[in-house]
């Protein structure tokens, strides 16, 4: 049994690596075919993110929210109940973090006091958005995918209303809030880059999430419910309660990611359209195969790809949407259940035959 699990683990890793290689190779081939200077384009996409501290900083600041959102989406993904609440949770959390920051501005509290408060606010509203479609699915049997997609747009337009009515700065020429108070901004930790203190905050919550996922009864219940619903119910696990907790915890992590991103990068709240961070978190979870330990690796890969695409966009005629080709290929190949299945089954069958023959000889 241990040998079978080892074979399955090796092939799962091989599937991901091979999918990455195929997607990356096809993407580079597309670059070669559509650009006048293919070598320069390939260099800018593949090596560009590491050519300066400023560019590498872009990778890191994208990685931080991607990783938190990805780990959060692993909880939802592991429960085997698909939902798209990530975008709504991200927008709503960022909006209310800004609202609370302005409400507490007159008290001039230090960052060490403001930061925990705002992280709690972000986590609360993210968890609330994650909880809503899961609770509606459990109590009213509504489809989580439909309700969460609709909820995303409710959150978008509600946050736009708050921004327009309460936060908008009338003295600027673009649609954004007034400047965030200095006592809520996360400090930069490296010169000549945008890398901020969120790089130290994110791992704390990722480690806590991994412990919950693998070392607690709740995490075990979520994983069992996602693997076998009937067995979970037969074992006495409250199926719907576990599903609701999975979505709520996922939403909390997405909300914390929004809070860290807002306070680390932006000097104003200006999210007036879909950010896609919730979707990128879901892609990170897919790349990690719903394992929160590997979600940061998927998040770093996405951050690297998006930064490379941005560099390619302003150094050549290739549009930034080019990276979506690679994302689509990755998702298709990694999500494909039959990709490398025959080879894996052959090895498992051969191992079983060898075990039977050994037992026959010893008998």
Position 319 confidence tier, pLDDT thresholds 50, 70, 90: confident
The stretch 193-205 carries a mean pLDDT of 94
Confidence class of residue 335 from pLDDT cuts 50, 70 and 90? low
Q: What is the pTM of this model?
A: 0.90
Q: Which segment of 152-161, 190-199, 241-250, 338-347 scores lowest on mean pLDDT?
A: 338-347
Q: What span, in angstroms and rounded, lies between the C-alpha atoms of 39 and 51?
A: 16
Half-sphere CA count of 345, side-chain side, radius 13 A: 6
* Domain ranges, ordered by start, for the chain: 1-35+323-363, 61-317
Which CATH number applies to 61-317? 1.10.3470
Burial readout 273-299 (b: 16 or more C-beta within 10 A, e: otherwise): ebbebbbbbbbbbbbbbbbbebbbbbb
- In angstroms, rounded to a whole number, what is the distance separating the alpha carbons of residues 191 and 274? 30
pLDDT score of 300 more than 70 = yes
Q: What is the C-alpha radius of gyration for the chain, rounded to an integer number of angstroms?
A: 23
Which residues neighbour 117 within 8 Å (Cβ) at sequence distance 6 or greater?
100, 104, 109
Confidence of residue 288 (pLDDT cuts 50, 70, 90): confident
pLDDT of residue 88: 95
Query: Which pLDDT belongs to residue 22?
Result: 81
Instruction: State the pLDDT confidence band at 32, using cuts at 50, 70 and 90.
Output: confident
- The residue-averaged pLDDT of 45-54 equals 89
Has residue 2 got a pLDDT over 70?
Answer: no
Rounded average pLDDT over 131-142: 92
Distances (CA, A) of 16 to 257, 328, 337: 25, 14, 12
pLDDT above 70: percentage of residues in the chain: 91
Task: In whole angstroms, give the CA distance from residue 219 to residue 210.
Answer: 9
Per-residue pLDDT band at 218 (split at 50, 70, 90): very high
* 285 alpha carbon, distance to own chain's centre: 6
Direct distance between the N- and C-terminal alpha carbons of the chain, in angstroms, rounded to an integer: 20
More confident residue, 344 or 18: 18
């Amino acid at each position: 049994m241990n040998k079978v699990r080892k074979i399955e683990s090796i092939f799962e890793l091989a599937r991901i690596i091979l999918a990455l290689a195929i997607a990356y190779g096809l993407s580079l081939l597309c670059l070669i075919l559509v650009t006048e200077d293919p070598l320069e384009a390939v260099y800018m996409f593949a090596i560009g993110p590491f050519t300066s501290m400023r560019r590498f900083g872009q990778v890191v600041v994208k990685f931080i929210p991607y990783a938190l959102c990805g780990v959060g989406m692993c909880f939802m993904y592991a429960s085997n109940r698909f939902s798209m609440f990530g975008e709504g949770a991200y927008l709503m959390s960022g909006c209310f973090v800004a609202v609370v920051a302005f409400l507490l501005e007159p008290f001039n509290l230090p960052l060490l006091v403001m930061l925990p408060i705002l992280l709690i606010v972000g986590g609360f509203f993210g968890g609330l958005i994650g909880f809503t479609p899961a609770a509606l699915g459990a109590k009213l049997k509504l489809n989580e995918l439909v309700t969460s997609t609709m909820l995303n747009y409710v959150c978008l337009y509600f946050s736009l209303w708050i921004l327009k009515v309460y936060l908008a700065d009338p003295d600027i020429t673009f649609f954004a809030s007034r400047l965030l108070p200095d006592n809520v901004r996360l400090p930069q930790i490296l010169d000549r880059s945008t890398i901020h203190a969120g790089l130290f905050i994110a791992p704390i919550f990722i480690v806590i999430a991994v412990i919950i996922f693998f070392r607690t009864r709740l995490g075990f219940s979520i994983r069992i419910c996602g693997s076998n619903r009937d067995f979970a119910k037969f074992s006495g696990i409250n199926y719907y309660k576990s599903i609701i907790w999975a979505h709520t915890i996922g939403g909390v992590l997405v909300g914390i990611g929004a809070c860290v991103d807002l306070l680390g990068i932006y000097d104003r709240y200006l999210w007036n359209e879909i950010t896609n961070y919730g979707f990128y978190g879901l892609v990170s979870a897919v790349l990690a195969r719903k394992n929160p330990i590997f979600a940061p690796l998927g998040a770093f890969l996405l951050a690297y790809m998006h930064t490379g695409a941005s560099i390619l966009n302003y150094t050549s005629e290739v549009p930034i949407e080019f990276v979506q080709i690679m994302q689509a290929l990755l998702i298709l190949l990694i999500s494909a259940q039959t990709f490398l299945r025959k080879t894996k089954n052959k090895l498992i069958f051969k191992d079983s035959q060898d075990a039977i023959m050994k037992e026959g000889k010893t008998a």
